[in-house]
Every structure is written in structure tokens, then in C-alpha cells.
């Protein structure tokens, strides 16, 4: 569904930026791309679900999984029995991956079906994922993944024991080849369609949280923690 709406911003003047490469410059709507650290980090830090793409046995595979950002690194967790995660540590070669994160902010309804679109913010990262083996880095990464989902939760739960750590793999992806892309604004109907009797505009989408539902076996004296109330 092509459209040519202009984004709010393509970067912050003077801000530190990621280097542009052939893989991070989009082939269309290049004016929507951003490479500054603040834009990229803000999109990553307000999400916790990513999609990790790689090639397995000559075929593409994309897996949804949790992630966290720590500085200029992304950490992704999974089972040590996962074939792609085992591959990241093979002969220190790592695994070529593409990781994506997307927020959908609105449904853009045009008068013509061709110009329907969505308002969104996204990040695409290319690179080599490698297994994290250092115990301290693994601890930092796993705590960060827990806190990425619910800030403050890592200090309010039992840490993983040796058996659980042995069953958990952590991979690292450096933020070297990365770009953000976004769309804002309303529909871009053709001038000849503006008089058509069809509703046009944006249906905003908002991420929200309902009241926490306690586990059925929770001690009634345990209160909902402040960090959950803050959500």
C-alpha cells in the first residue's frame, strides 16, 4: 500500500548517528529513515518483543522472542536446545541475523484502497549474533530482558539457579548496522478522490495495561508492587 506521507523527523541535528550502509538505507521512502542514536534507542526501549530472522538449511526463518538493549548491544534469550541459538556459538563464527522491532501507532484509512497505510515506528538491525558465555554478562543480559518487559522486576523475583541458567541461552547482537523508520500523519489521497463520499482519517492505536490479576495461589498479604501500579 504505497503512500508518501512525510515523517515528523529523520534525525536530531548534531546527534550521534549510526553509519548508513547499503542494507540500512531503504529502497523507498528514504526520507522516513533515521539513524541517530536517540531515535533508534527510544523505539527499542519502549518494546520487548522482537522478530529474529536468519537462514536455516537454505530457508528463511523468523522467530518472535524477547530482547533487551544494554548500551549499543541487544540481548536475546532462548533455550539452549534451540538450533539457531546453538549455531551462534559454532566455531565463534556466529550467525548472520536480521532483528526487527515495530510499533503500530495508527491505522490510516484513505478514500482509495490503494492509499491505506499505517503509522508506525520501526528499527531494523543487521549483524552477527554470538553466544554470550561470560557469567557476569549473562547475568546483566538476563536481568535486562526481565526489566525490559516490566521495569524493576528483576530485583523483585528469584534469580535463575544453576539448572535454569544451563537451560537458557543468551545471544548478543551489536548495534552497528541499524536504522529506524517511521510514518506519521493522515492519508495521502489523490486530488481527484477528495470529493468521494468515504470516511478518511487515522484510527490511533494505544498500548495499555489492565489491572494486574494475582495468581490463584498467591498469599493474600502480598500486595501489588509499585512498579506494576506505575505501568
pLDDT of 89: 55
Is the distance from CB of 33 to CB of 179 less than 8 angstroms?
Answer: yes
| Predicted confidence (pLDDT) per residue in 92-105, tens digit | 678 999 999 999 99
Task: Evaluate if residue 6 carries a pLDDT over 60.
Answer: no
pLDDT tens sequence across 219-231: 999 999 999 998 8
> What is the percentage of the chain residues whose pLDDT exceeds 90?
71
Give the angle subtended at the CA of 158 by the CAs of 155 and 164, to the nearest 5°.
125
The C-alpha atoms of residue 82 and residue 139 are separated, in whole angstroms, by 20
What does the alpha-carbon distance between residue 199 and residue 47 come to, in Å, rounded to a whole number?
32
Contact 120, 105 (CB under 8 A): yes
For residues 208-229, one letter each, b for 16 or more C-beta atoms within 10 angstroms of the residue's C-beta and e for the rest, the string is eeeeeeeeeeeeeeeeeeeebe
Q: Which CATH number fits domain 30-189+220-229: 3.20.20.60, 2.40.110.20, 3.20.20.70, 2.30.110.10?
A: 2.30.110.10
> In Å, what is the CA distance from 228 to each residue of 54, 105, 148, 210?
35, 23, 13, 10
User: Does 172 score more than 80 pLDDT?
Assistant: yes
Q: How confident is the model at residue 5 (pLDDT cuts 50, 70, 90)?
A: very low
User: How wide is the angle at C-alpha 52 spanned by C-alphas 50 and 55, nearest 5°?
Assistant: 170
Residues in the chain: 231
Amino acid at each position: 500500500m504505497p503512500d508518501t506521507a512525510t515523517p515528523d523527523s529523520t534525525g536530531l541535528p548534531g546527534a550521534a548517528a549510526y553509519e548508513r550502509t547499503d542494507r540500512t538505507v531503504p529502497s523507498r521512502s528514504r526520507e522516513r529513515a533515521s539513524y541517530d542514536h536517540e531515535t533508534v534507542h527510544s523505539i527499542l526501549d519502549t518494546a520487548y518483543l522482537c522478530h529474529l530472522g536468519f537462514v536455516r538449511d537454505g530457508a528463511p526463518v523468523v522467530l518472535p522472542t524477547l530482547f533487551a538493549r544494554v548500551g549499543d548491544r541487544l540481548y536475546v534469550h532462548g533455550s539452549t536446545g534451540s538450533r539457531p541459538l546453538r549455531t551462534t556459538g559454532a566455531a565463534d563464527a556466529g550467525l548472520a541475523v536480521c532483528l526487527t522491532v515495530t510499533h503500530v501507532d495508527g491505522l490510516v484509512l484513505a478514500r482509495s484502497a490503494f492509499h491505506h497505510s499505517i503509522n508506525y515506528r520501526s528499527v531494523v538491525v543487521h549483524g552477527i549474533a554470538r553466544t554470550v558465555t561470560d557469567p557476569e554478562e549473562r547475568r546483566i543480559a538476563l536481568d535486562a530482558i526481565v526489566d525490559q518487559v516490566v521495569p524493576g522486576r528483576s530485583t523483585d523475583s528469584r534469580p535463575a539457579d544453576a539448572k535454569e541458567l544451563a537451560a537458557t541461552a543468551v545471544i548478543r547482537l551489536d548495534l552497528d548496522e541499524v536504522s529506524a523508520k517511521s510514518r506519521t500523519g493522515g492519508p495521502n489521497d489523490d486530488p481527484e478522490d477528495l470529493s468521494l463520499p468515504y470516511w478518511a482519517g487515522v484510527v490511533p492505536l494505544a498500548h495499555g495495561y489492565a489491572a494486574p490479576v494475582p495468581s490463584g495461589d498467591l498469599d493474600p498479604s502480598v500486595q501489588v508492587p509499585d512498579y506494576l501500579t506505575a505501568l
